[in-house]
């Protein structure tokens, strides 16, 4: 479509155009059954196929075995997971890496269920780097990491060695945007509205052995992961259309070539913008102190004055580039280059940045 804007919103975020088309058709007539995806029973065989396909495709993308891992789809966003994780898996204490606002909120919720050890933190410099000096507790119930920090623009490229302590991760803003050693994780969760689909559903990947050995049997039924694993995400009515869109997005990832192709393209997109930032460091001031820590999902920078930042956002919007205003807590500029963000949009942004620099330097 020629009237599509260039979408740099941090979430809800850009979706593959082919998925939008498929969803449009499914809203009118899902699977040729004569009703909308919004009207279909979640107990129907047609929707059951959606759930089954989504679980199979998620495991295929990650290269994980269905015998070893389960995939479930939950409501409540990643924020609900902040409480569900310690409710299910914390016995006495857990280690948390504090690298941004969402990691901070996750640790705050965990403190309601036990002791939290800050194994590493970058809050001393407003989260503009990833901590390198980490102090893990060998007797912790688990280690929690936020792999990408949407607000501050940092991203773990590799995860620290946690020894025999289970590693749990919030991957909301870079899930299936980069390759990872998925088998190192006992538990992964990701709000869909950045790289996976629309708002309203959270994807969870759980190692079956970890769930069986460590899950708290006294957790409330709806907040117990075992409930949703045993009922294949159908214990209660799931967010049907959100799960459908997520499933179509997973198929799009596979069709695009899987994680190898997706990550390579994401690296290329990020480099195009970072090259402009690095070319004019006194004008485009990257907010991440160490380039090795920079996210390829959420790119953040400042301009010399707040007034110039406002002008940048306004002029970009006039050119149909949306979502470039930084998070309200930090200001500045942020470009979110998620999987479905087209290369064309990134090239348009980089060209605009060059023009804006020449006009305002």
> Would you please indicate which residues are annotated as catalytic (active-site) residues?
102, 170, 194
Q: Checking DSSP bridges between strand 69-74 and strand 202-207, what pairing results, if any? A: antiparallel
Kindly give, in sequence order, each residue whose CB lies less than 8 Å from that of residue 314, ignoring residues fewer than 6 positions away. none
Q: What's the token pair of residue 260?
A: 């190898």
Q: What's the token pair of residue 224?
A: 């117990």
Q: Checking DSSP bridges between strand 143-146 and strand 93-98, what pairing results, if any? A: parallel
Three-state secondary structure call for residue 254:
helix
Distance of CA 134 to the CA centre of its chain: 23
Give the Cα separation of 93 and 140 in Å (integer): 6
Show the beta-strand stretches assigned E in 171-218. 187-191, 202-207
**Ramachandran sector of residue 332 (left: φ over 0; alpha: ψ -120 to 50; beta: rest):** left
Distance of CA 238 to the CA centre of its chain: 20
Residue 259 contacts residue 251 (beta carbons within 8 Å):
no
Nearest 10 degrees: CA dihedral of 322, 327, 330, 336?
-60
Give the long-range contacts of residues 187-190, CB within 8 A, separation 24 or more: 187/85, 187/89, 187/142, 189/78, 189/81, 189/85, 190/78
Residue 167's alpha-carbon distances to 130, 145, 188, 281, in angstroms, are 17, 8, 9, 37
Q: What's the token pair of residue 189?
A: 């969760």
Residue 13 contacts residue 194 (beta carbons within 8 Å):
yes
Indicate the burial class of 317 (C-beta count within 10 angstroms; 0-12, 13-18, 19 or more): middle
């Amino acid at each position: 479509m020629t009237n599509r804007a260039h979408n740099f919103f941090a979430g809800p975020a850009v979706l593959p155009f082919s998925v939008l088309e498929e969803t449009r058709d499914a809203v009118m007539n899902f699977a040729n059954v004569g009703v909308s995806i919004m009207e279909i029973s979640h107990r129907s065989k047609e929707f059951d196929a959606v759930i089954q396909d989504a679980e199979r495709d998620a495991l295929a993308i990650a290269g994980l075995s269905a015998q070893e891992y389960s995939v479930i789809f939950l409501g409540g966003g990643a924020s609900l997971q902040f409480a569900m994780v310690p409710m299910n898996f914390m016995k006495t204490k857990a280690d948390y890496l504090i690298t941004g606002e969402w990691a901070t909120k996750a640790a705050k919720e965990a403190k309601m269920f036990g002791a939290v050890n800050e194994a590493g933190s970058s809050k001393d410099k407003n989260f503009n780097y990833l901590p390198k000096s980490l102090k893990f507790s060998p007797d912790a119930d688990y280690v929690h990491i936020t792999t990408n920090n949407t607000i501050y623009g940092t991203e773990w490229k590799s995860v620290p060695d946690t020894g025999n302590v289970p590693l749990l991760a919030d991957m909301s803003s870079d899930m299936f945007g980069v390759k990872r050693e998925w088998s190192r994780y006992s538990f992964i969760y990701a709000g869909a509205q950045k790289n996976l689909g629309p708002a309203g559903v959270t994807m969870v990947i759980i190692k079956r052995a970890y769930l069986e050995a460590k899950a708290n049997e006294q957790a409330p039924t709806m907040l117990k992961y075992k409930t949703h694993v045993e009922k294949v995400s159908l214990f209660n009515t799931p967010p049907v259309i959100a799960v459908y869109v997520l499933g179509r997005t997973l198929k799009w990832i596979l069709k695009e070539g899987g994680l190898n192709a997706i990550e390579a393209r994401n690296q290329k997109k990020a480099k195009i913008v970072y090259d402009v930032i690095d070319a004019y460091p006194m004008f485009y001031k990257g907010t991440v102190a160490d380039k090795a820590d920079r996210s390829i999902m959420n790119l953040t920078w400042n301009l010399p004055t707040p007034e110039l930042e406002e002008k940048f956002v306004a002029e970009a919007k006039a050119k149909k580039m949306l979502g470039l205003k930084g998070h309200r807590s930090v200001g500045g500029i942020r470009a979110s280059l998620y999987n479905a963000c087209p290369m064309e949009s990134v090239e348009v942004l980089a060209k605009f940045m060059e023009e804006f620099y020449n006009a305002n330097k």
